[in-house]
């Protein structure tokens, strides 16, 4: 069960929930501070940090130079010394510029030093397509980082989880990478007041069903739920699982669902090849749930192309509701 101190619930946007989580973390622990490009007076590229610099000052809300490698290195170093940095990349694509510090330092220090140190750094990545930002600012790279032992990788899909999982990440002794879909920032939902955490490594069943399992991540959770509503009108009962955590993945929830429905579809925005859905599919193929499958596993992922600038082409490169409905219908009924 999620740990909670307050129970009053209001409607907040995804961005407001993240901002509230960071403020609570900073109020509770003086070791927590924020780093990133333009997160101070400007309030962040997507206005997520907002007025936190006015509330906590420039020593705890630090604008960094335009160097993702340098900023990531400072964040990792600060974490090793006992601080709790939250480092914001302006776009998830810019993780490519900080991979040395993320993959070779943050992920490995605890192992290479025999557990003598931990690296409690949180890195936030605005991710995904849908804003017309084209090929270098619209990628979904969570599978890249999910491939690295030593990192924890999460994808909150709701304002409630965005707040609770960020607070859990701040408390975690290991590096936690948070991928926040840019189109979710304005989405509103119920968010409890005060402090609470949502466990890392635990999926959530967003809709119970009996005919097929749809495992989705991030914004695709909402598209899958919309598709499931359409399918219900056709007499097809889809179970929708919000994976929430890419690494460590919740095997048991997915396996038990597939055992019940006997059909599995994975929906994710990252490129289909070697994506999150590939790992989910392999997990089922290697588990006892394989014997319960009545049809081949279906993966719906991003197209094998960089994200185009043109809005119609951009939309065509990632799964949409109508495509999810068609694929699920075929999987459930065998009808093309």
* Percentage of the residues of the chain whose pLDDT score is greater than 90: 96
DSSP 8-state assignment for residue 130: S
pLDDT tens for 22-59 read: 999 999 999 999 999 999 999 999 999 999 999 999 99
pLDDT tens for 253-262 read: 999 999 999 9
Single residue among 138, 167, 192 that ends a domain in this structure: 192
Query: Given this model, what pLDDT does residue 8 score?
Result: 79
Which CATH number covers residue 79? Answer: 3.40.50.970
Q: How far does Cα 295 stand from its chain's mean position?
A: 28
Any domain includes 227: yes
Q: Which two tokens stand for residue 290?
A: 């394989």
Any domain includes 1: no
Query: Given this model, what pLDDT does residue 1 score?
Result: 43
Looking at the fold, whether 176 and 254 belong to one and the same domain comes out as no
What is this structure's pTM? 0.95
Q: Where are the beta strands (DSSP E) in 100-216?
A: 122-127, 152-154, 176-181, 188-192, 204-207, 212-216
Any domain includes 334: no
Query: Given this model, what pLDDT does residue 334 score?
Result: 82
Looking at the fold, whether 183 and 56 belong to one and the same domain comes out as yes
Looking at the fold, whether 146 and 284 belong to one and the same domain comes out as no
Confidence of residue 9 (pLDDT cuts 50, 70, 90): confident
Any domain includes 336: no
Any domain includes 197: no
Any domain includes 254: yes
Residue 219 has pLDDT above 50, yes or no: yes
Single residue among 192, 219, 245 that ends a domain in this structure: 192
DSSP per residue, 243-300: --EEES--HHHHHHHHHHHS-EEEEEEEESTTSHHHHHHHHHHTSGGGGG-SS--EEE
CB 5 within 8 A of CB 195: yes
68 catalytic? Reply is yes
Any domain includes 309: yes
| Mean pLDDT along residues 259-276 | 97
222 catalytic? Reply is no
Q: Indicate which residue of 68, 88, 239, 279 is catalytic.
A: 68
Q: Indicate which residue of 37, 88, 137, 181 is catalytic.
A: 137
| Mean pLDDT along residues 263-268 | 98
Confidence of residue 168 (pLDDT cuts 50, 70, 90): very high
Looking at the fold, whether 78 and 214 belong to one and the same domain comes out as no
Any domain includes 335: no
Domain total of the chain: 2
Looking at the fold, whether 58 and 115 belong to one and the same domain comes out as yes
pLDDT tens for 306-333 read: 999 999 999 999 999 999 999 999 999 9
Looking at the fold, whether 179 and 210 belong to one and the same domain comes out as no
> In terms of residue numbers, what domain contains 272?
204-329
Residue 3 has pLDDT above 90, yes or no: no
Query: Given this model, what pLDDT does residue 226 score?
Result: 98
Q: How far is CA 10 from CA 184, 190, 191, 194, 242, in A?
A: 17, 5, 5, 11, 22
Looking at the fold, whether 54 and 134 belong to one and the same domain comes out as yes
Single residue among 166, 192, 218 that ends a domain in this structure: 192
């Amino acid at each position: 069960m999620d740990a909670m101190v307050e129970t009053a619930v209001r409607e907040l946007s995804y961005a407001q929930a993240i901002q509230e989580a960071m403020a609570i973390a900073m109020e509770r622990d003086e070791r927590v501070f924020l780093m990133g490009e333009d997160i101070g007076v400007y309030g962040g590229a997507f206005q997520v940090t907002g007025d936190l610099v006015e509330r906590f000052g420039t020593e705890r809300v630090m604008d960094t130079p335009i160097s993702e490698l340098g900023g990531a290195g400072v964040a990792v170093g600060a974490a090793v010394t006992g601080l709790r940095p939250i480092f914001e990349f302006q776009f998830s694509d810019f993780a490519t510029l900080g991979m040395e510090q993320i993959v070779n330092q943050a992920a490995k220090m605890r192992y290479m030093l025999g557990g003598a140190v931990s690296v409690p750094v949180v890195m936030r990545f605005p991710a995904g397509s849908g804003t017309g930002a084209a090929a270098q600012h619209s990628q979904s790279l969570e599978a890249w980082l999910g491939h690295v032992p030593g990192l924890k990788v999460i994808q909150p899909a709701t304002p409630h989880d965005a707040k609770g999982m960020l607070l859990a990440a701040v408390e975690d002794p290991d590096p936690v990478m948070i991928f926040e879909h840019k189109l979710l920032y304005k989405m509103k939902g119920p968010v409890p007041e005060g402090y609470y955490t949502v466990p890392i490594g635990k999926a959530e069943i967003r809709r119970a069903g009996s005919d097929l399992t749809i495992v989705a991540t991030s914004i695709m959770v909402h598209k899958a739920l919309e598709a499931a509503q359409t399918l219900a009108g056709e007499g097809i009962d889809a179970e929708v699982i919000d994976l929430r955590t890419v690494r460590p993945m919740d095997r048991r929830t997915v396996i038990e669902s597939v055992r019940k429905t006997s059909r599995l579809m994975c929906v994710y925005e990252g490129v289909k090849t070697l994506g999150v859905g590939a790992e989910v599919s392999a997990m089922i193929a290697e588990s006892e749930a394989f014997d319960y499958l009545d049809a081949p596993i279906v993966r719906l992922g991003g197209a094998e192309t960089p994200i185009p600038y043109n809005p119609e082409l951009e939309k065509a490169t990632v799964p949409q509701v109508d495509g999810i409905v068609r694929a699920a219908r075929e999987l459930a009924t065998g009808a093309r």
